[in-house]
Each structure stands twice: as structure tokens, then as C-alpha cells.
Structure 1
Amino acid sequence: DGQDLVLRDHGIPAQSLYSYALSAGFLLVAVITPLLSGIADHTGSKKKFLKAFCYLGAASCAGLFFFGPGSLWLGLGLVMLACAGFSGSLIFYDAFLPEIAEPGDHDRISARGYTMGYLGSVLLLVLNLAMVMDPDGDGTTLLGIPDRDGLPARLTFLTVGLWWAGFAQFAFRVLPDNPYGRKASGQVLLNGYRELRKVWKELRRTRRLNAYLMAFFVFNMGIQTIMYLAVTYAKEVVKDHGPDGEVVPIGDESLIGSILLIQLVAAVGAMLFVRVSQRFGNLAALTIACGIWLALCVAAYGVHWASEFYLLAAGVGLVMGGSQALSRSTYAKFLPDTIDHASYFSFYDVSYYVGTVLGTLAYGLVYQLTGDLRNTVVIIGSFFVVALVLLILVPRTEVAMRSGAT
């Protein structure tokens, strides 16, 4: 049983081990992508890097079809690479936002992108649910797949990889290849580093952008930890009633249903928070979202039953969509007049992924040290407390620092 898996020599439970694999994938991206983004800006090759990371992630996810008993390290390695492929591709994907939309449309376009992503994930999740469910208990799933050797679950990884690579072709077809006509010159690695260093110096002179990145860093630590590890938490602490009224752990069908609920509500939440930002401003909308996340953490600490978890999932979906869409569009709005979008977004996404690394590591360590997953909610809630303060302190208008200030 994977839930009882322990590396005997180190005493690491499965819940912690999975979070460490995610952390490794995000850390890999955080280390290599800043330089790659500088190269992408110098050579005008954002789209090529987007494709490379996309195919890495899709192939790694599809490769999990071969995961099974006795192949623990293969599974962990593929999880890490799939995570790296997804997160690495987002850096270059996000960097297209300032190039395909005017600043006044950033919130709307960012929210629409997330909304379409949430709805698309629902379609695939429904298909995967039909692939694994065996309501009659006759050893055959709803789609006629024999339920042996984990075949239905392994096939879902294959479908995700194919879906990922397949639908990416729409973006690859319409996104501009090199809108500023840049060409590689001289030593690509050295010039990529110089491009990145130039952007770093410019970034450090913008007080509002610096303050926002710091707030986003902590805010995202909480959000991503919840997103990636909520199911692990639910399996450990949430109970349900079995067919005879007995108390049992929450079932996989209930968990999949809660994920569907999150995705559907998130699609609505993304558009709803655009309205909030139009009324009160982006920073105010994000501050409201942060406060809701904190309240959800308080509620999660006391959740015990599946019915309570469904309500919590609806709340997570509502605020998740708005938080992700507005975080990205707010950063795009705060950028100076520049064409080095990949380099600028590399700092945004490195903040995103380093925050995710620290958040998932904290989750794994707290559980490993205390043996109680409820204690992880306390540390996640503390992230939102700090983020709330930092968001309030972000200047509402840009203030340039003195030249050379750090």
C-alpha cells in the first residue's frame, strides 16, 4: 500500500516522499530557467523553449504508465520531470501575456486562460473517472478496461500526456515565433546571462515590483502547497460513512468529485475576481483573496467529514481561480516598458517555484516530524498571514529606487 510506504533506512513516509519529489522538480526549474529565459529573450526563442518543456512534461507524465510495484524510483523521477516540464513551460507561456494583450486587457485575458484550463481539466478528469470506476465490482471499469495490475490508473497517465501534448498544438500554432525580430549573436550562453543580469538590475530599481514579488512569493507558498497536497491531506484526515454506516476513510470517488468541484468553481472564481479587481483594484482583490485563503486554512484544521471537505473544496476553487489569474496579470501590469518579457517573468516564476519548493518541503517536514497532517495546516496558514501583511504594504503606485540601490 503506497500510503504505508516507508523507506526503511530513513523513516520517510509516502506522503512526505511525494512532496519531496515535487520539491525537486520545482527546484530544478528554479535553477535552470532564469538563464534559459535570458537566452530566450536574447535569441527570440521563447516559443522553442515553451515547446521543449511542454514535451518533456507530457512525455514524463505518459511514462508513468510504466510505474508499478518495484519501480519506486522510476515513478519519483518521472513525477519530478513531469513537474519540471509543466512548471518550466509556464515561464515562457506567461511571458507571452504582455505580447498578446494590452495592459487594460491583462486581467480579463489571464482569467480567461485559467478558466479555459479549468474547464479543459474537468473534461479530461471525467474521462479518467470513467476509465477507473468499477461501480458493479465485476473487475471491469465503465469503459470496459479490465481492472487488474493497476491498468486503469496507469492508462490515465497516458491519456494526460497525450492530452497535454495534443492541445498544446493550438497554442504553438498561433503564438508569435519572434515578434521583435531578435537574432542570436556571439556566445549565446554569455549573452543570455548578460540579458538576465540587465533585467535583474532594472527589476531591483522598481520598488513596487520588488514589494509585489516578495508578497507573491509568500502568498504562493500557501496556495501551491494546498493545490498539490490537498488530496494527500484528505486521505489522511477526512472520514466518510460506508454502505453499512461504518466510518471509513474518504474514498477515491469522493476525492475525484471534490477535484471536479474545485475546477468548476475555479472557472467561475477567475472571472469573478476580475470584477472585484475592476471595482477595487488588483492589489485589493488579491488582499481579499489572501484573507479568504487564511479563513479556509482555519476551517481545514477542523474538517473531519467528507461533507465538510466538499464545502472546503468549493471555497478553495472560488479563491484559487481568482488568485492565480490576478497574480499573473498584476505582475504583467507592473512591468516597466520592456521587450524582455521572458527574463522578467523568469523572476516571477522562480519566486513561484521556490515558494512551492519551500511550501511542499515544509509540509513534508512537519508531517515527518509530528506524524499529524493537521499540523501542516498551521504552517500553511502562517504563510497567508505574512502574505496578507506584505500585500497591504505594496505601494499602489510605482516608486523608482535610486540608481544602484539594492
Structure 2
Amino acid sequence: MGTDTLREQPADEAAGRRREQRAWYMYDWACSVYSTSVLTVFLGPYLTSVTESAADADGFVHPLGIPVRAGSFFAYSVSLSVVVAVLLMPVVGAIADRAGNKKRLLGVAAYVGAAATTGMFFLDGDRYLLGGLLLIVANAAQSVAMMLYNSYLPQIAPPEERDAVSSRGWAFGYAAGALVLVVNLVLYLRHDDFGVSESTAVRICLAMAGLWWGAFAIIPLCRLRDRRRPPGEVTGPGGLRQLAATVRDMRRHPLTLSFLLYNDGIQTVISQASVYGSEELGLGQATLIGAVLLVQVLAVAGALALGRLAARYGAKRTILGSLVAWTLTLSAGYFLPAGEPVWFFALAAAIGLVLGGSQALSRSLYSHLVPPGKEAEYFSAYELSDRGMSWLGPLLFGLTYQLTGSYRDAIISLVVFFVLGFTLLARVPVRCAVADAGNAVPERI
């Protein structure tokens, strides 16, 4: 009996790990609709239009007495949300690592974000301040929740499985984003048939993302497990001192800076693409939704395809190739002619093919650099630039537009993030970085 028990344990452990991985995928299924429908498609153009209706004759609004060009308000709100996240994530991450109550904290963050997103239904007229506030709360909550979610990856997948597991998670998220976007597209295009105005249709789409997020978050919250650390390992500073401690510790791992840079660029492109398409290229909302839907569909294939390339060539080489593709794509976007949807769809196709894989492999490669026992703490820094939570990118985008009045100049300014990210990643010996973090080095990375 003892021998049979020993043989059953690895099989039972593998089966339990697979069940937990499937539950983990479902949180991407739940929350990615927010990133897609809200942050990428609807909220940018809609909040910009609401802000413009509240602007003065010179096109400025004055939150807290500060003059802000209406076209920059959305980008500034995204950037400000990260200021909140910067204060929250290292603290929450340290608490999760020490106390082992990651799942409870994930639930709180997820439902705060879902509630704020659902509340966007009430964003109408000239309520741009309400829109900015809800965006800040939702983005900060999403950032905290994704930090906790991502930090499960090194705990539920051994090193040789992480590229594949991370890629499947992103594929689940993009599939959900595509599915809900189809529903949103029908509602938006045929809003008269449903007896609602265009503005109401947009607000319903925003609220639907919050309801979807809250409904499907139940599955991972029921099935993921907390890992409690032994009492002797519960060390480290608390409160706001954790932020400084995390940054000091990360300075020993320079590869993290590369991730922060190019992820910042990727997420800024995602969050500002709809504003660029509507304001600079003069494209309608239906075209923008269709383009983002194309991105979602192709991103599923891209995530799985780049995952296979990583298995053959290693994650680092595959990511470097994706950064070259990002630079070329963004440069081409600068020259897109206005009023020509076909070229915008071509750009969307290029983004979709490289988007999912670059994000999935970045997450899995980063997980190898996290010191054991500091998963949530380190993923708090990673999440600062992930899922549209970047702040340098939106800040640069907003400042460039405010200074030049050109969205083309704003979009091309983001190339710097990919160039610097490529340069840093190419120079870092990844195997040494993984070993320095105290982790086993995979055969291919």
C-alpha cells in the first residue's frame, strides 16, 4: 500500500495543478473584457467626448483648477491611476506574500474594479470628473488584482510549463474579449433597434464589462489555493516602506527594467489606439470596434504561436523578435492616411499577431526572475506597466499631444519604449539573471 500511495501522489499533484491552472485561466477570461471593451475601445473616445462637452471655448477643462486640454484628459487619468497603484501594489503584494491571504485580496480588488466599471453606466452629459474618478478606481483595482493573479503563475506551473500556461491564460482573455466585443458591436450598431441612443448603448457596454468581470471572477476565487509561508519566513518591512524596499531589491535584477519599458509602450498603444483612430484618423466607432475585434481574434492565435516559437528558440529571442515587429508596426501607424479604414485594419492585424505572444512570454519569462517567497511583491512592479496600467507611456502621449496638438506625433513618440526595451533585454544574460534570483534555470529560455 505504501508503494501505491507514493505512485499516486505525483499523479494527484499533477491533476490538482491542472485544475488550478484551469481556474487561473478563468480570471483572465473574467477581467480581460474590461481591458478590451472599456480601456481599449469605448472609454477613451467616449470620455474624451464627454470632456470636450465640458470644455471651455479654448478646448480646456479645469479639474481642481488645473488647465487640461480635453484630448489629454483620458491619458492623464490613466497615468494618475498608476500613482494610486504605485502606493497600493507593493504594500498589498508584501501582505499577500507574508500572510498567505492572496485569494481574499484578489477578491476585494476584483470586485472593487468590477463595481467601478459597472458604475460607468452613469457617465453621461458633461460628467467628465465622474468618468475620470471611476477610471482611476477601476484601473488601480485592476492593477492590484492582476498583480495578485500573475503572482500565482510561479506557484501553479513548474518552469518548463510556464510559457505554455501563460500563453493559454492570455488566449482565454483575448477569446473573452472577442466574444463580448461581438455583442457590443451588435448593440452599438443597432442601438436604434433596441430603443436606446448611441450614448446609452456605449454606457451599457461599459457596465456590461463590469458585470462580466464580477460574474466570472467567482470561478478562480473558488478554486485557487492560498499558500501560507512558515512563520519563520514572515519578514520584511510593512506599510509604504515596502515600495522602497522592493525597488532597492529589484536593482539587482536589471532585466525587470526592460520589461517595464517595453510593456509600458505596448499598453499605451492599446489604451490610446482608439483615441488615435477616432481623433486623428477620423474613423467611426464601428470601425474601431471591428479593428479591436480583429486584434482579439488574431491575438489568440498569436499568443499560442509565439508560445510554440519560444519552446523552440527560447522566450528571450522570441520576445526580441516581437519588439522589432512592434517598432515597425508603430512606425507604420504614423503614416496611416485619415479616413481609410482598410489601412487601420491592416495595422490592427499586425498588432494582434504580435500582441498576445509578447505579453504572454514577458509574463512567463519575468516569473523566472522572481525570488521565491516574493511573488506578489515582484509582480506588483511588473503590473505597473501591464494591462494598460502604464504611466510613463500615457504621460508621454498626453504631453506630446498637448505640446504639438498632433496625435501622430504622440503615437510615434512611443517607439522609444520598444527601442530601449530591446536594447536592455538584448544585453542582459537571462540565465545568469534567473540563477541570481535563486531559481532553477530552464533548459530553454
Report the counterpart of residue 168 of structure 1 in structure 2: 217
Q: Could you tell me which of 180, 189, 207 is aligned with 2:228? A: 180
Kindly indicate whether residue 261 of structure 2 is the aligned counterpart of residue 218 of structure 1.
Answer: yes
Please give the per-residue CA displacement for 1:352-389, whole angstroms capped at 9, x wherever unaligned: 58981010011001001101111112311122111111
- TM alignment of 1:318-357, pairs within 5 A: 318-336=353-371, 338-350=372-384, 352=386, 356-357=390-391
Structure 2 distance, partners of 1:359, 1:279, is: 32
Report the counterpart of residue 396 of structure 2 in structure 1: 362
Report the counterpart of residue 280 of structure 1 in structure 2: 313
Please give the per-residue CA displacement for 1:2-31, whole angstroms capped at 9, x wherever unaligned: 474433556533321000111111221122
Q: Could you tell me which of 419, 429, 443 is aligned with 1:395? A: 429
Report the counterpart of residue 121 of structure 2 in structure 1: 65
Q: TM (normalized to structure 2)?
A: 0.79
Q: TM (normalized to structure 1)?
A: 0.86
Kindly indicate whether residue 292 of structure 2 is the aligned counterpart of residue 259 of structure 1.
Answer: yes
Deviation at 1:331, TM superposition (A): 0.8
Report the counterpart of residue 233 of structure 1 in structure 2: 276
Deviation at 1:212, TM superposition (A): 1.3
Please give the per-residue CA displacement for 1:121-159, whole angstroms capped at 9, x wherever unaligned: 11111112222223xxxx723xx24227x2222111221
Structure 2 distance, partners of 1:389, 1:395, is: 12
Kindly indicate whether residue 142 of structure 2 is the aligned counterpart of residue 86 of structure 1.
Answer: yes
Cα 1:191/1:254, change in 2 over 3 Å: closer
**Contact in 2 for aligned 1:199/1:343 (Cα 8 Å):** yes
Report the counterpart of residue 203 of structure 2 in structure 1: 154
Kindly indicate whether residue 196 of structure 2 is the aligned counterpart of residue 140 of structure 1.
Answer: no
Structure 1 distance, partners of 2:261, 2:151, is: 21
Kindly indicate whether residue 160 of structure 2 is the aligned counterpart of residue 129 of structure 1.
Answer: no
Structure 2 distance, partners of 1:52, 1:8, is: 33
Structure 2 distance, partners of 1:370, 1:354, is: 24
Q: Percent identity?
A: 33
Q: Could you tell me which of 336, 353, 357 is aligned with 1:303? A: 336
Please give the per-residue CA displacement for 1:327-356, whole angstroms capped at 9, x wherever unaligned: 1000112334x1331122223223558981
SS of 1:397's equivalent? helix
Structure 1 distance, partners of 2:125, 2:388, is: 31
Deviation at 1:232, TM superposition (A): 0.3
Report the counterpart of residue 21 of structure 2 in structure 1: none
Identify unmatched segments of 5+ residues in structure 2. 1-48, 437-445
Kindly indicate whether residue 424 of structure 2 is the aligned counterpart of residue 376 of structure 1.
Answer: no
**Contact in 2 for aligned 1:39/1:192 (Cα 8 Å):** no
Please give the per-residue CA displacement for 1:232-263, whole angstroms capped at 9, x wherever unaligned: 0011222xxxxxxxxxx311111100010000
Cα 1:68/1:334, change in 2 over 3 Å: same
Cα 1:235/1:350, change in 2 over 3 Å: closer
Cα 1:197/1:222, change in 2 over 3 Å: closer
**Contact in 2 for aligned 1:218/1:384 (Cα 8 Å):** yes
**Contact in 2 for aligned 1:18/1:76 (Cα 8 Å):** yes
**Contact in 2 for aligned 1:34/1:350 (Cα 8 Å):** no
SS of 1:334's equivalent? coil
Cα 1:236/1:201, change in 2 over 3 Å: closer
SS of 1:179's equivalent? coil
Structure 2 distance, partners of 1:320, 1:3, is: 30
SS of 1:81's equivalent? helix
**Contact in 1 for aligned 2:384/2:390 (Cα 8 Å):** no
Report the counterpart of residue 43 of structure 1 in structure 2: 99
**Contact in 2 for aligned 1:219/1:384 (Cα 8 Å):** yes
Report the counterpart of residue 269 of structure 1 in structure 2: 302
Instruction: Output the amino acid matched with 2:365.
Output: T
Structure 1 distance, partners of 2:375, 2:431, is: 21
Kindly indicate whether residue 250 of structure 2 is the aligned counterpart of residue 250 of structure 1.
Answer: no
Structure 2 distance, partners of 1:184, 1:93, is: 25
Structure 2 distance, partners of 1:396, 1:8, is: 47
Please give the per-residue CA displacement for 1:260-280, whole angstroms capped at 9, x wherever unaligned: 000000111111111121121
**Contact in 1 for aligned 2:50/2:128 (Cα 8 Å):** no
**Contact in 2 for aligned 1:262/1:316 (Cα 8 Å):** yes
Report the counterpart of residue 349 of structure 2 in structure 1: 314
**Contact in 2 for aligned 1:44/1:183 (Cα 8 Å):** no
Report the counterpart of residue 35 of structure 2 in structure 1: none
Instruction: Output the amino acid matched with 2:175.
Output: L
Report the counterpart of residue 7 of structure 1 in structure 2: 60
Deviation at 1:313, TM superposition (A): 0.3
Structure 1 distance, partners of 2:308, 2:360, is: 12
Instruction: Output the amino acid matched with 1:326.
Output: L
Q: What do you get for the CA RMSD once the two structures are aligned?
A: 2.7
